[in-house]
Structure 1
């Protein structure tokens, strides 16, 4: 979609602009003189228009267009003249003052007029010819060069005037400098903030935050700022000054450097601020910079008309009981944010962490952590209430609380106001800071599914509400059948799923058991294969499918998902609500072998937690999506999972060499590093990464976070090279570009097919998804004739879709070479540019048809189909670039390579 290249113009070639009569026109590359005038009028420094550069019709006068036909064209002499430039690009009109009136003083101005009525007196002034004689004063006025003063006197006056003028100019210059210095003098930080805003060095949200935080700084602090003291460390700077410097430098380093240079203040050097980050507030308790970052995020969302909504997650991780002397004190004791209270404080054995996860965004941020030994439900409730108070104070709307199922958490929810008893279940409690809002309770669905698996496997038998028997034995027999045959029937049931007791903490082992694929295979063995050991497994099949449907609905993470994995929308509310209602009644109707309801037995936590989560997600859906004024278009239930916090724990363990039980000091160091900058890739731990939710950085501007930054070389390559195939987007008959299409010869097709087989071999080593791996090869097709000729049994037979990707990649590479005149492109963005172009060129070719449904199993950013196309294109591009580099080397060396020949001759001759 072309966009207008004019400064400040936001027009793009879309249907809305066309309806409004806006057209887009190419630069006249065929007319050098007019092209130069166009470029001068656009006023873009160091910029040269390319074939895809466009200007919209709003920058031309009406008489520049030829509207005689259906297509709006520019006239042959049309030049853009209408632009909206900022002040520094506009020409300032110079207005010349009119010259001052010059006249000689009239000595007779004060004299009374003569009486000209007297004829005799009138005739006395007439000459003999009857004409009046000129007066002396009039002669002086008509001829100012006439003077009665000497030349020496005039020179003396001129020198005196020149000297006086020089003194005035010096005085004026001094006054201007003093005025400029006075303008730079400030007596409050508010003046600095307003100056930064006038210079457009900080955003509005940063301005408001700085004003609200530092508007009433004391005069003593400003006196120290104005006095240029040679401060050596953080001790010499007051806390307010340190906080101001760190906050401003965090939002804009350019603004901070501008203040230090312009206002001549005693602000710390940026290197010193970086040293302060090393001792930033990462101690136990609520992390203060977290809430500052959340406040900035709230302000940015409000400007976009968006409300900041999040879910609060609480969990704890075991740590090692360990005491060490660090920073002049012993570390390793219980610490809830106020330090070690007394000598009898016990050693900490767990760390309790709270995290906020955005429901309508893609960020998460730890709110604080606490080293604990044991903490009652009442104490946890007080901690959670304080957390909700702090979130409400910065403008964040917290709608849910997620935890797992220990008894202390049930006591915590009971203290907060929630009732988890089945007879009168109310899985919500009033917001501590706003009683009109309800906070809904989630018990982590993955943990609840694991508890249900444990109860089912240990008991062996469950009964549904109709008395039908559900047997764990059926699942064990299916696994035995697959192991004996040596082949699986399209499911992930393995021995590890049956022998789960050795890996109790692995949640994915439970999800693979409660899956529709296992239910389908049980039904197939019973109804089609007629195997006797699977007779009477209908209740087991129904149980597995119901749990699988409920879990998928409570774990949706892709806006484009289908079936039960689809997000909850107003358009599918009937189906989703039906699944939730049926799942609620089915789970509550389950009984043990003795006929006692499972939700009332000793192992009730998993069943109650699953029912509470279903009711909570239904309530949140009605509040945020299915209401009169919805604040969200859909609801992704994966946002309420504890996986986000488990991934943080995994990253902490990764920082310590995957130590499952770090010490308090190790956890504190890892937390501070993750908190300041999240660069550690976590391991899988008890869960895997399913979406792109990132930790909200508190030392980078929250409004300008770019998750996938592009390098300068990549941007330069993409701008210089037109590698997008297809027809022109705008039919402009005056300026025809070079056709952007390349034919591939039969010989090149043979070579590409052969190279694609090598691409398959490389991709198989790097792909973890078995579905994507299967899509690389074609086991049923005949293959290319050249492939059949060269194959001796060890070549990989690529799929037609993969061959198409490689062919399109070759076309883009040829266009790349043609755009540079046959020269190799410089920079690191060639592979990214080509792969993006291939993805766009193949968008309408429906490649890898067997992955059409698989692409909806992951989040939008992790689309496996797009990733597979890009990986294949990048791999093929790398192979071809190595080949092109080798060819260039051989062409440069030519026939003058004599080193090997002469070295051999010399060695043998001597």
Structure 2
């Protein structure tokens, strides 16, 4: 019992993961250790698969120094498909690519190759922090295997003083099997949202399905049945298709009938924003007003609007990110719980009565996982509020529900994908190297916070990208073959580029000579990097008095035929004015890259005194994790950075030489008020 061979450890760990009952049977007849010992065997202090000792040690230090902040977490699990390929690992001098659950890679000709990597992450529930706990190379995955890995992770977290309040997985057949293996019951007539851990103890853990994945399932069900009947109305898919195809409707007689967000002037034309999410208040509001306008296609669409609004509100409840959010986008607290509970009850009564066109209950059918998943999430949320938040057992009396979303883990996996930089599925060696590089580069830097693991990546951006096929543009492209540009062009795969990437990519002098403006370059470059379609639309000017932009606007932008919006031009104009005030073209602009940060602060200070920009982005103010880093402020800052990047790139192309080394000092003094800014002479060449 004191010295087990590597083969014995591998046998015990794999047997326990795939069948805990078989492990109990063998343990009665062979000298196998207690299952709790396997948690140690599944751990590693190197780059190899298993629970990362470094990650748990780092988290334990945080718990000991900030016990309250790190006491509660949400545990999530996700899989990454690997390339079935064996490679020679020069670091270990062995073949790599075999199954490895943390006790060492199998090494034999008949050993199975790994086809998936299972990644686990812990996310702070009441204080924002994220720690990836480890990964495992497996050949075939069942719900029981995932459940066993989750239980082992919970054991390890409990050992260092972290209490797991919830578990999140994808809303799939494998996720259902995982929930059932843990002891969660998900049936139409009965839902048990928690499981006990350790089994037989009094400690319960709630179970959640990922909300973005649930929206996908609801869309699929809605599209497949075409008509969903509920008490007091019916939702029809044809109304959604017709709205997505509504490019320009000249039957609008009076602008007063339009929603406030769409009201322009009497007799205006209505144009549909193809970046709008299907399940959103905007779609529900437009459908209701189109019915009031008497358009034949949209008669009797009030039931569709009601269903869309219900799903939209339900998703907002499970994706709140900002403590300053308004309404359902805010945290769940004693002040908002009554409203949230009323919505959850309404959703439950609607889903229970939901039937298809043949009168069969949806919850009893084959496409019921989306609705059952939201019902499970509702029960889990109510259980958490009643057992923790309501009785003040936790550090905070409010709860942001985005901590139960897989967006955190998806962002981390996207960072891994960018690190190994391989198209398609990565081999085991590349995934292992990328995982170790990301972990050692971010989370274990002395003095760094856990959130530096994701850098400036936003879970809101990841959520929008994951819902890119739930936009009206995606539906329009699906049903209308004449749309040749895919909807993915609205939401670029690439993450938002940094300032250096933006400036390095802009070599505009030859193009500027042909009459292109800096505002056009900034808008087009940002549009290629942004993931939010609404923000992309805000960068470009509307045409012919239309109320919003459609997919064609993005297509024209790619061809260079569109013009930047008034807000973008105003921001660039203000940036130019500030730069004229503080910069001297003769000997200062060459130092723009060194002085970019102070110049940026001056420009943003100047912009703060002007009227608000981008009125269409007001809903984005409290959508992000923090109120100071939302899409509105991010877009404003990136436009300023993009303009300064253009100017710095111009100076480099002009190859100004022989400048005085004291120029940067004089410019810095002028910007800090030590010299009179009006003393700077010279003018800048207009773009």
Q: What band does the TM-score fall into relative to the shorter chain? A: 0.5 to 0.7
Q: 2:73 aligns with which of 310, 334, 347?
A: 310
Matches within 5 A, 1:201-240: none
Out of 830, 835, 847, which is 2:612 matched to?
A: 847
Structure 1 residues 45-72: Cα deviation after superposition (integer angstroms, max 9, x where no partner)? xxxxxxxxxxxxxxxxxxxxxxxxxxxx
In the aligned structure 2, how far is the partner of 1:411 from the partner of 1:795?
50
Q: Tell me whether 1:349 sits opposite 2:115 in the alignment.
A: yes
Q: C-alpha separation between the residues in 2 aligned to 1:844 and 1:620?
A: 44
1:642 CA drift (Å): 1.4
> How much does 1:543 deviate?
1.0
Task: Please point out which of 165, 168, 176 is paired with 1:402.
Answer: 168
SS in 2 for 1:585: helix
Structure 1 residues 458-473: aligned runs within 5 Å: 458-466=224-232, 468-473=233-238
* SS of residue paired to 2:135: strand
Deviation of the 1:813 alpha carbon:
6.6
Retained in 2: the 8 A contact 1:309–1:396? Answer: yes
What secondary structure is seen at the aligned counterpart in 2 of 1:577?
helix
1:648 corresponds to: 412
The match for 2:187 is: 421
Shift of residue 610 of structure 1?
Answer: 1.2
Query: What's the CA shift for 1:514?
Result: 2.4
Question: Which of 208, 213, 219 in structure 2 is aligned with 1:447?
Answer: 213
1:296 aligns with 2:22: no
* Cα distance in structure 1, aligned partners of 2:324 and 2:126: 15
Of 866, 888, 891, 2:633 maps to 866
Separation of aligned partners in 2, 1:676 and 1:396: 22
1:672 aligns with 2:421: no
Q: State the secondary structure of the residue aligned to 1:556.
A: coil
Give the one of 434, 437, 444 matched to 1:698. 444
Structure 2 segments unaligned to the other structure (5+ residues): 1-43, 251-268, 456-514, 528-532, 546-560, 661-687
What secondary structure, in the 3-state scheme, does the structure 2 residue paired with 1:490 have?
coil
Change (3 A) 1:836 1:587: farther
Mark the CA change 1:888 to 1:330 in structure 2 (over 3 Å): closer, same or farther: closer
Report if aligned partners of 2:129, 2:450 keep a CA contact under 8 Å in 1.
Answer: no
CA RMSD of aligned residues (A): 4.1
Shift of 1:490: 3.2
Task: Name the SS for the 2:325 alignment partner.
Answer: coil
Partner SS, residue 365 of structure 1:
strand
In structure 2, what is the equivalent of residue 593 of structure 1?
357
1:531 Cα offset (Å): 2.5
Q: What SS does structure 1 have at the residue aligned with 2:189?
A: helix
Q: Report deviation, 1:631.
A: 1.5
Contact kept in structure 1, 2:131 and 2:450, CA below 8 Å: no
Q: CA deviation at 1:295?
A: 0.9
Partner Cα separation in structure 2 for residue 869 and residue 650 of structure 1: 25
- For residue 525 of structure 1, report the CA deviation from its aligned partner: 2.9
The 3-state SS of whatever aligns with 1:482 is coil
Determine if contact 2:287/2:305 at 8 Å carries over to the other structure: yes
Instruction: Select which of 479, 482, 492 maps to 2:274.
Output: 492
1:504 equivalent in structure 2: none
Is residue 639 from structure 1 mapped to residue 403 from structure 2 by the alignment?
Answer: yes
**1:48-197 alignment to 2 at 5 Å?**
none
Aligned to 1:330: 95
How many Å apart are 1:574 and its aligned residue?
Answer: 2.5
Q: Tell me the CA shift for residue 651 of structure 1.
A: 3.4
Cα-to-partner distance string for 1:313-353 (whole Å, 9 max, x where unaligned)? 11212222223344444333322112345755433222222
Report the counterpart of residue 283 of structure 2 in structure 1: 518
TM-score, normalisation: structure 2: 0.65
Shift of 1:827: 8.1
Structure 2 residue 153 is matched with structure 1 residue 387: yes
Native 8 Å contact 1:462 1:471 kept in 2: yes
Distance 1:308 1:483, change over 3 A: farther
Secondary structure in 2 matching 1:593: coil
Quote the Cα distance in structure 1 between the aligned partners of 2:454 and 2:246.
Answer: 47
Sort the Cα spacing of 1:706 and 1:622 in 2 relative to 1 into closer, same or farther, 3 A: same
* Separation of aligned partners in 2, 1:628 and 1:395: 19
Tell me the TM-score normalised to structure 1 length: 0.50
The change in CA–CA distance for 1:429 and 1:840 in structure 2 (over 3 A counts) is farther
Q: Give distance in 1, aligned partners of 2:328 and 2:156.
A: 36
Q: What does residue 764 of structure 1 align with?
A: 523
| Structure number, greater radius of gyration | 1
Match of 1:577 in 2: 341
